[in-house]
Amino acid sequence: MPFQFSTSDNPVLPLDRASVLFDGIFSTPKLSHPEGVAVGPDGWIWAGNQDGDICRISPDGTRFEKVASTGGFALGLAFHGTQALFVCDLKHAAVFRLDLATGDLDRFTAPGIKIPNYPLVDVARNRLFVSDSHASGTPGPGIWSYDLVSGDGGLWYDRNLNFANGLAKRAGEDSLYVCETFATAITRITIEPDGSAGPEETFADDLPGLPDGIAFDREGNLIVGCYEPSRLLRVSRDGTQIDVLIEDPTAHVLCHPTNVAFAGERLYTANLGRWHVSEVLMDIGADPLWSAA
């Protein structure tokens, strides 16, 4: 698919549109190497760390709290409305469910998934989709699907993906978008009327960076967090134009950004290379994902 993208010298947004929301290098616990980030129904920004700690940051960045811990390595996060937070964990090869009313944290998925990387809540189908990165350097299946209440489920998309990572759905569209990190591509998979996985197609490829996390803005553009180099991309609604949205050549404010999450015109990024969550002031925003769940 042909496209154009801006050069690294001419990103769409200047770097001063990004700032450190909260630096957890000296906090207790430390916000060490956050991979996942999500905006909660409480308005706080939630993230995990390398020890499986699930933490939240106040919108003004002045308060930081530990809520729970898996004792593993927290990856992607997704809210099920005001009911629960789902957390992927690398060490346990499982998804955990945090009950937002009681604070109880329990393993949600049975053994089987190899590297649960990112969860996506689909309330309309009562399903939780989870990308399985399978193994670094070895493509494999795929994407799993679980009942949002019981946790029953299995492999939903059984074809090979080259390190399946972030997931996203665009409003009004029955498709699942998935980052294939080491293919430098975004793949779109049709969701059939019966809920099964349909045909897939390449939405965008030859990306100028290794894609990790994705989120749609309110105009249908796809924002992509790139683990390397430290930049965000913007892919147009039809996938034909790719721009470097913002980047940090020194990897200080943006340092190997992974997952991204909107709260209006503010976009939050986890930074796997450091100890902080960043905030980017966007021209086009989107509602937090929990509000659609």
pLDDT tier for residue 8 given thresholds of 50, 70 and 90: very low
Decide if pLDDT at 3 tops 80: no
How far apart are alpha carbons 130 and 144 in whole angstroms?
A: 5
pLDDT tier for residue 197 given thresholds of 50, 70 and 90: very high
Nearest to 289 by CA among 46, 95, 66: 46
pLDDT tier for residue 292 given thresholds of 50, 70 and 90: confident
Q: From 3.40.190.10, 3.40.50.10480, 2.40.110.10, 2.120.10.30, which CATH number describes the 15-292 domain? A: 2.120.10.30
The two tokens of residue 290 are 């929990």
Percent of the chain predicted with pLDDT > 70: 97
Cis ω before 229 (30° cut-off from 0):
yes
Residues paired with 266 in a beta bridge: 263, 281
pLDDT value of position 10: 85
Whether the CA torsion 70, 181, 21, 251 is positive or negative: it is positive
Nearest to 166 by CA among 99, 111, 103, 233: 233
Mean pLDDT of 218-222: 97
Decide if pLDDT at 199 tops 70: yes
Decide if pLDDT at 6 tops 70: no
Residues paired with 275 in a beta bridge: none
Decide if pLDDT at 217 tops 60: yes
pLDDT value of position 1: 42
Decide if pLDDT at 293 tops 80: no
Altogether, the residues listed in the chain come to a count of 293
Nearest to 119 by CA among 85, 155, 88, 140: 88
For residue range 30-42, what is the model confidence (pLDDT) as tens digits? 999 999 999 999 9
Decide if pLDDT at 7 tops 70: no
Residues paired with 55 in a beta bridge: 47, 66
Domains of the chain: which residue ranges? 15-292
Q: Are 98 and 80 in contact (CB under 8 A)?
A: no
Q: How far is CA 27 from CA 23, 24, 77, 196, 292, in A?
A: 8, 5, 21, 44, 32
Mean pLDDT of 212-237: 97
pLDDT tier for residue 4 given thresholds of 50, 70 and 90: low
Mean pLDDT of 167-196: 97
Neighbours of 101 (CB within 10 A): 8
The two tokens of residue 141 are 């299946």
How far apart are alpha carbons 82 and 73 in whole angstroms?
A: 24
